[in-house]
Amino acid sequence: MARVAVLLGGLSPERPVSLSTGAGCVAALKRLGHEVGEIDPQDEDWVEQLKAFKADKVINVLHGAWGEDGRVQGVLDYLRIPYSHSGVLASALAMDKNKAKAVLAGYGIPLAAGKLMDRHEAAKTHPMAPPYVVKPNAQGSSVGVFIVREGANRPPEQLLDPDWTYGEDVLVEEFIGGREYTVAVLGEEAGPRALAVTEIIPAGEWYDYNAKYAAGGSRHELPAKISSEMTGKMMRWAEIAHDALGCRGLTRSDFKWDEKTGKVCLIEVNTQPGMTPTSLAPEQAAYLGMSYDQLVTWILEDASWPR
């Protein structure tokens, strides 16, 4: 059995999701007989807490800025503590949506057309013909994302909100209609292995923050009722994306597919997918016969240094 530090909570707007994910992982680790220390980087002395705990390994379940963007990973590298999920470079790349797209485009993965803009510039006039999507360039969990619908008379005024806390750079992308899909990937020694394709059917208009994490916010169709050809394509693209960005451990790639137009694109790669009661990665693992505790064990055994 090991001494395992779980990094949870953190400083980003995704803190509640991280706390929920952390609670699940902590409970699993305790069931498995490990000694567990919960460490929240919201505390100013979290590094001292981590050193004092003398962890054999760290499971990092932080989400968003300061958790999955390479900064915490850099601290763990400096401390030479084996940790889970992706390392500094892959975490930073995947978190920066614009830079990730630049890398993935070189591998032939289909992506939505778009551009990086200062949020104030994007609010002056329509950056592209509606409908389009505006998202913070370095946030996850659909935080700060909104759709400008066809026929909208005004540019996105939300970007001028004085309480905006999602960074000055936003990614403006064409709106891809159709359905939402996701693919979890395990970074195994033999290479990345996609688990399955899930169709996500939100209760509301689209797969926003509430649809992702609120009870009843969405319904999951697993396996997705799509052709074996499209299933194979999405799984292969998810594996390529995992590898192209240099990811380690568990990732999840999200897709949109409009069957009417044939347009399909990868939306983003999540380097630290949620492990909450409504999360998609553990659901796909369970579909293949891997329980929640077994998935947590896999993540723990995969932890290493350097990443």
Q: Which residues are part of the catalytic machinery?
A: 14, 141, 213, 252, 254, 268, 270, 274
Selection from 172, 167, 189 nearest residue 131 by Cα: 172
Q: Is residue 69 within 8 Å of residue 90, measured between CB atoms?
A: no
Q: Which amino acid is at 197?
A: V
Structure tokens at 27: 């409970």
d(CA 152, CA 101): 27
Contact residues for 283 (Cβ-Cβ < 8 A; gap 6+): 198, 220, 222
The rounded radius of gyration (Å) of the Cα atoms in the chain is 19
Beta pairing class for 3-7 and 57-60? parallel
DSSP category for residue 304: B
Residue ranges of alpha helices (H) inside the chain are: 15-31, 46-53, 71-79, 88-95, 97-105, 119-122, 209-213, 228-244, 280-287, 292-302
- What Cα–Cα distance (Å) separates residue 87 from each residue in 143, 266, 272? 23, 22, 11
Q: Is residue 97 within 8 Å of residue 147, measured between CB atoms?
A: no
- How many helices (H) and strands (E) the chain has is answered by 10, 13
Q: At what angle do helices 97-105 and 88-95 cross, to 10 degrees?
A: 100
270: three-class secondary structure by DSSP: strand
d(CA 254, CA 271): 12
